[in-house]
Chain A
Amino acid sequence: MNPADVAQAVPVAHDMSLFGLFWQAHFIVKLVMLGLLGASVWCWAIIIDKTLLYARTKRAMNRFEEVFWSGQSLEELFRSLQSRPATGLAAVFVAAMREWKRSFEGSGRSFQSLSQRIDKVLDVTIQREVERLDSKLTVLASIGSAGPYIGLFGTVVGIMNSFTSIAASKSTSLAVVAPGIAEALFATAIGLFAAIPAVLAYNKLQSEVGKLQSRLEGFADEFSAILSRQIDERIALAA
């Protein structure tokens, strides 16, 4: 074969743009790419939502603590917060106050285990709040760990495909081999594109959740201490 003929025969039109790479890929590779793109969109959506939520929660906690320690009457505070659904520290406060009020407003005065009940309510509320903050973070963890594997799967399928077509075309010129491999590697690229932010964000958000949770627990302990002191005073008065 004449080298000139070879040189003319090689440039089969390979669109090397991103869309071209996607469009020429195998069906399975296309699915993998689309799935990974969806995962990327979803995980960024979660990252944005969670970041906003934690910022909001932190601001609310700051504001509530300011109000709580300003010396305002707890009754008043409770009344102002009772009307709308509370989150964060406010939710913990409202839950404890509701249990407190219920124990005093009823006919039978049950002080004996009020302190224990309040502790239980606080625990449950903290758990619920943390769960709310924590939700969907597992999605990030999953994408972060499984994304590269999914991308790798697409790559392997793509390379398998391109090797079979190399065998069919009986040419090992790099110009023939390269487009298929570039297509295949594109899948891994998308996988990594989705997975890397997911892993980073998961670690960051997880630590944020931990901080908020410890803050909730700290407040709950303090509030529980205040309430139990009140209970003991009431018991002493009653006796």
Chain B
Amino acid sequence: MKLKFNSSEPGLWVSGATHVVLLTAALVGLSAVHEFPSAEEGIPVEVITDNQFSQITKGEKTAKAVLQQPKPRAERVADKAELRDPGEDKRDVPAPPKRPEEMKVADKEETVAAQPPPPPPPPKPTQAEAEAKAKALEEEKKLAEAKAEAEAIERAKAAEKAKSEAEAKAKAEAEAKAQAEAKKVAEAKAKAEAEAKAKAEAEAKKVAEAKAKAEAEAKARKEAQVAKKLDMGDIKQFLENKERNQSTGATGAEVQKTASLGTATGSAAKLNPSQRDALMGILQEQMKRCFTPPISASAGNAVAPLLDVRLNPDGTLAQDPSVVQSGPNSTDRAVADAALRAVRRCAPYRVPAQYAPQYSDWKMLKVYFDPMI
């Protein structure tokens, strides 16, 4: 193709020139790429394990300041942990009014007005406390009885001694008087004998009084116990006791609404495996103490439930323990429930101070409860 301008066929030149001009215009005019309004890119999401989650200390970006001791978030204080066996009432019903102390009981013959009223029982004695108290009371009673007996014996001895002394005296006097005054012998003897007799009688009366007092005390105690018993006449009160459910929310041992900005160290301290085993042993041993496996689990084929236990740094429960995994049948569920109760009942747990720095590693525990152990 000869590139010479031909006026009758100017097409190539015209076309080439036009293209060059168009391209130049495009390069100049279109090179400024106008950008879209910038949109927020998607936030990358990372999936973390619950172990990592338990060790998060980075806090929230919107928080105001770094707290000295970051605590898990809690909107309100948790309700009291439920510590009752199945079948029992979920909460305490108000106690029925007590019988007045002066009121006569059917199997009592005497009033014991002089007795001091028995100390009122504490509002909610735990079983151990009640037992201890009963024991203490019994011991006291025994002691009092023993004391009374010893006193009575002593008094009797003293009476005998006095009697013998008086007799000796009387003899001596009688002898002396017989020597001095034969006339008054009979009188003096009679008098001495009467005196001794009166003394002995007074002593015996005292002993009887002490005995009566001890008996009266025992009676009064018994009466108080009877008065404390459930009165079926007050069952109306139980029936009228209807309470509503409370609202829920994130719960914790204490209210914590301020988030922390994070801590100086990015990640929490970790337990090493041997420390972890030791701590788990300590905690499980404490939990097992309260664990009473249901009788149906004694067959030996129950599945050990896996519990999720959250702890506070002081060893109290950060939140109600929950069953992560348990067997399918009712026995397994009963075992799981018993394990939950055991965990609640044994709180707070004693955690050795050496594990305090690694709190974030043991604040969330997974515990297996083997019913056969």
**Choice from B10, B23, B32, B33 contacting A49 with Cβ under 8 Å:** B10
A18 and B31 in contact, given A3-B44, A44-B11, A48-B11 (Cβ under 8 angstroms): yes
Q: How far is the CB of A187 from chain B (nearest CB, A)?
A: 15
List chain A residues, Cβ under 8 A from B44: 1, 3, 6
Bound state CA distance, A20 and B12, in angstroms? 27
Whether, in the assembled complex, A7 has its beta carbon less than 8 Å from a beta carbon of chain B, the answer is yes
User: Are the CB atoms of A48 and B43 closer together than 8 Å?
Assistant: no
Within 8 A of A (CB), among B1-44: 8-16, 18-19, 23, 26-27, 30-33, 41, 43-44
- Is A41 a contact of B10 with CB atoms below 8 Å? no
Chain B CB within 10 A, most for which of A6, A7, A37, A48: A48
Could you give 17 example pairs across A and B, Cβ below 8 Å?
A1-B44, A6-B44, A17-B30, A17-B33, A18-B30, A41-B19, A42-B12, A43-B15, A44-B15, A44-B18, A45-B16, A46-B11, A47-B11, A48-B10, A48-B15, A52-B8, A53-B8
- Pick the residue among B12, B23, B33 that contacts A45 (CB under 8 A): B12
Would you call B31 and A3 a contact (CB within 8 A)?
no
Q: Which A6-44 residues have C-beta < 8 A from chain B?
A: 6-7, 16-20, 37, 40-44
Shortest CB-to-CB span from A207 to chain B, Å, is 19
A19 to chain B, nearest CB (A): 6
Please give, as numbers and ranges, the residues of chain A lying within 8 Å of B12 by CB-CB distance.
Answer: 41-42, 45, 49
Residue of B whose beta carbon sits closest to that of A19: B27
Contact (Cβ within 8 A) A37 B19: yes
Contact of A52 among B10, B15, B16, B23 (CB under 8 A): B10
For the complex, give the distance between the alpha carbons of A56 and B11 in Å: 14
Known interface pairs A16-B33, A41-B16, A44-B18. Does A3 touch B41 (Cβ–Cβ under 8 Å)? yes
Query: How far does the alpha carbon of A49 sit from the alpha carbon of B43 in the complex, in Å?
Result: 59
Q: Name the interface size band of chain B.
A: 20 to 34
Could you tell me if A49 and B31 are in contact, using CB atoms closer than 8 angstroms?
no
User: Which listed residue, B15, B26, B30, B43, touches A3 by the CB 8 Å rule?
Assistant: B43
B9 contact set on A, CB distance < 8 A? 49, 52-53
**Inside 8 A of B16's CB, which chain A residues have their CB?**
41, 45
How distant is the Cα of A175 from the Cα of B312 in the complex, in angstroms?
47
Beta-carbon contacts of A65-89 to B below 8 Å, as 1s and 0s? 0000000000000000000000000
By a CB distance below 8 angstroms, the chain B residues around A6 are: 41, 44
Map CB proximity to A onto B40-61 as digits: 1 under 8 Å, 0 otherwise: 0101100000000000000000
How far apart are the CA atoms of A40 and B19 in the complex, in Å?
8
Most buried by B among A1, A17, A19, A43: A17
Chain A residues whose C-beta falls within 8 Å of the C-beta of B8 in the assembled complex: 52-53, 56
For the complex, give the distance between the alpha carbons of A17 and B23 in Å: 12
Chain B residues with CB under 8 Å of A46's CB are: 11
The answer to whether A48 touches B27 (Cβ under 8 A) is no
* Cα–Cα, bound, A16→B35 (Å): 10
Q: How far is the CB of A114 from chain B (nearest CB, A)?
A: 36
Q: Does B41 lie within 8 Å of A48, measured CB to CB?
A: no
Expressed in whole angstroms, the Cα–Cα distance for A136 and B194 within the complex equals: 170
B31 touches A45 (CB 8 A): no
Query: What residues on A are CB-neighbors of B27 within 8 Å?
Result: 17-19
Chain A residues, CB < 8 A from B26? 18
- A20 to B9, alpha carbons, bound, how many Å? 35
Top-6 shortest CB links A-B: A17-B31, A49-B11, A44-B15, A48-B11, A45-B11, A45-B12
**How far apart sit A49 and B26, CA to CA, in the bound complex (Å)?**
25
**Could you tell me the distance in whole angstroms from the C-beta of A21 to the nearest C-beta in chain B?**
10
Min CB–CB distance A45 → chain B (angstroms): 4
Q: How far is the CA of A44 from the CA of B18 in the complex (A)?
A: 9
Bound together, the chains give a CA A40 to CA B12 distance in angstroms of 11
A6-B41, A48-B15, A56-B8 are known contacts; what are 9 more A-B pairs with Cβ within 8 Å? A6-B44, A17-B30, A18-B23, A18-B27, A41-B19, A45-B13, A48-B11, A49-B11, A49-B12
Contact of B14 among A19, A20, A45 (CB under 8 A): A45
**Residues of B with C-beta under 8 A to A53:** 8-9
Shortest A105–chain B CB gap in Å is 34
Known: A3-B43, A18-B26. A42 touches B33 (CB 8 A): no
Instruction: Note all chain B residues with C-beta closer than 8 A to A3.
Output: 41, 43-44
Q: A7 to B41: give the CA distance in the assembly, Å.
A: 8
Chain A residues near B43 (CB-CB < 8 A): 3
- Min distance, Cβ A137 to any Cβ of chain B, angstroms: 13
Nearest-neighbour CB distance to chain A for B256, whole angstroms, equals 28
Q: Give the docked Cα–Cα distance between A16 and B41 (Å).
A: 21
CA distance A237 to B26 in the complex (A): 75
Is the CB–CB distance between A44 and B19 below 8 Å? yes
Query: B31 and A41: CB pair below 8 A?
Result: no
Binary contact readout B265-308 vs A (1 if CB under 8 angstroms, 0 otherwise): 00000000000000000000000000000000000000000000
Inter-chain contacts of B30 with A (CB < 8 A): 17-18
Cα(A176)–Cα(B361), bound, Å: 41
Bound together, the chains give a CA A7 to CA B18 distance in angstroms of 42
Contact partners of B15 in chain A: CB under 8 A: 41-45, 47-48
